[in-house]
Amino acid sequence: MQIPESASNSGRQGFPWTDHDWLPLALVSALTLTACGGGGSSPQGPPPPSGDFTLAVTPTSTLIEAGNSVSVTLSAIGANGFSSQINVQVSGLPAGVSVSPSVIIVTVSVPAQLTLSASATTKSGNATVTFSGTSGSLRHAAQLGLTTFPVVVSNTPPFRTRYVQTDAAAPYFAWLNSHWIVYNPPTNRFFVTDPGSSQVFALDANSETLVGAMVVPGAFSLDDTPDHSTLYVGTQIGDVYQLDPVGMKVTKRFPAASIGPYGFFANVALAMADGHLALLGGQGGIPGVDGYSRI
């Protein structure tokens, strides 16, 4: 800062400062200008996250019988705008099981329908099948629990007499019911209904012991689906129950009043090959006399 000569003063009247008073004023001005500085660009935020994906297989577990096949769906879920195609490799298939198509490509909008096929010689066992997806440097995987079992020609395999104590209270000899018991191959268990105690008992075929019981009011008849994944129970109160033979629990109840347009009292529920159920009413057989000839 330059001090003009006209501003010089030695303390005469009219100027309350002298020449040396200009130095601190100049220093303050320079500091003020320096602190203000010039305008600059504002700092930028972090870059947006890069695209990514995850894989999912539906269902997460399945059963397959030797000589048959099952279908699963493999889908991709994108994140942060990811839209590239994903190449998938399959590992962990048990001996005798193959997957098609052989080349698997999925995108976020187009899932892949896969078929797992088991040869006629496939043995019983459990496996974890891994689907590994790769897109550029990204890699993720999804897993499928797979249970294989041989062809079953009968739900009543050869057996020897052995008594296992349960809480059953039904006089089985006094009933005309050919569906008290059923054998479930994947779990290697026998399931038995007991209307007296309103239970379905589970007995392990290997240890020949009682391993569980499910509460089903008036449990009467019992049948297994062709793929052995579900049990259906007809009851004395007319309701139909759906059971999980692996988890040994009730998964669904169909009240008698909700069956058909007018309700139906179903004592017996038989699983058909096409996935439907055949429901039978009370025992009898003389139309117009006992009223129990309905199907």
- Decide if pLDDT at 29 tops 50: no
Side-by-side strand order, sheet with 209-215: 181-184, 189-194, 199-204, 209-215
- Residue 18 scores a pLDDT above 90: no
Report residue 180's pLDDT band, with 50, 70 and 90 as the boundaries.
Answer: confident
Interval 42-64 mean pLDDT: 86
- Taking only the tens place, the pLDDT of each residue in 181-222 is 899 999 999 999 988 889 999 999 888 888 999 999 999 999
Return the number of other C-beta atoms located less than 10 Å from residue 213's C-beta: 19
Q: Would you state the structure tokens that stand for residue 244, as one six-digit string?
A: 């999980």
pLDDT at 275: 83
Per-residue pLDDT for 150 more than 80? yes
CA dihedral 16, 19, 23, 24 (to 10 degrees): -20
Q: What is the 3-state secondary structure (H, E, C) of the chain?
A: CCCCHHHCCECCCCCCCEHHHHHHHHHHHHHHHHHHCCCCCCCCCCCCCCCEEEEEEECCEEEEECCCEEEEEEEEEEECCCCCCEEEEEECCCCCEEEECCCEEECCCCCEEEEEEECCCCCCEEEEEEEEEEECCEEEEEEEEEEEECCCCCCCCCCCCCCCCCCCCCCHHHCCCCCCEEEECCCCEEEEEECCCCEEEEEECCCCEEEEEEECCCEEEEEECCCCCCEEEEECCCCEEEEECCCCEEEEEECHHHCCCCCCCCCEEEECCCCCEEEECCCCCCCCCCCCCCC
Q: Does the pLDDT at position 71 exceed 70? A: yes
Report domain extents, the chain: 52-149, 172-280
Least confident of 43-47, 246-250, 261-265, 285-289: 285-289
Q: Higher-confidence residue: 44 or 196?
A: 196
Domains 52-149 and 172-280 are alike in CATH topology:
no
Architecture of domain 52-149: Sandwich (2.60)
Between CA 221 and CA 240 the distance in angstroms is 10
Per-residue confidence (pLDDT) for residue 162, from 0 to 100? 60
What pLDDT shows up at residue 260? 87
Q: How far apart are CA 117 and CA 120, in angstroms?
A: 10
Name the residue with higher pLDDT: 159 or 22: 159
Mean pLDDT of 56-75: 93
CB atoms within 10 A of CB 15: 13
| Bridge partner list, 78 | 53
pLDDT in the model for residue 165: 63
C-alpha span between 288 and 208 (Å, rounded): 46
Nearest C-alpha neighbor of 233 from the set 261, 246, 252, 247:
252
* Residue 1's pLDDT band (cuts 50, 70, 90): very low
Q: What is the C-alpha to C-alpha distance for residues 232 and 253, in angstroms, rounded to an integer?
A: 10
More confident residue, 102 or 172: 102
Place of tokens 């003020």: 32
Q: Note the CATH number of domain 172-280.
A: 2.130.10.10
What per-residue confidence (pLDDT) applies to 108? 92
In this structure, how many other beta carbons lie within 10 angstroms of the beta carbon of residue 188? 14
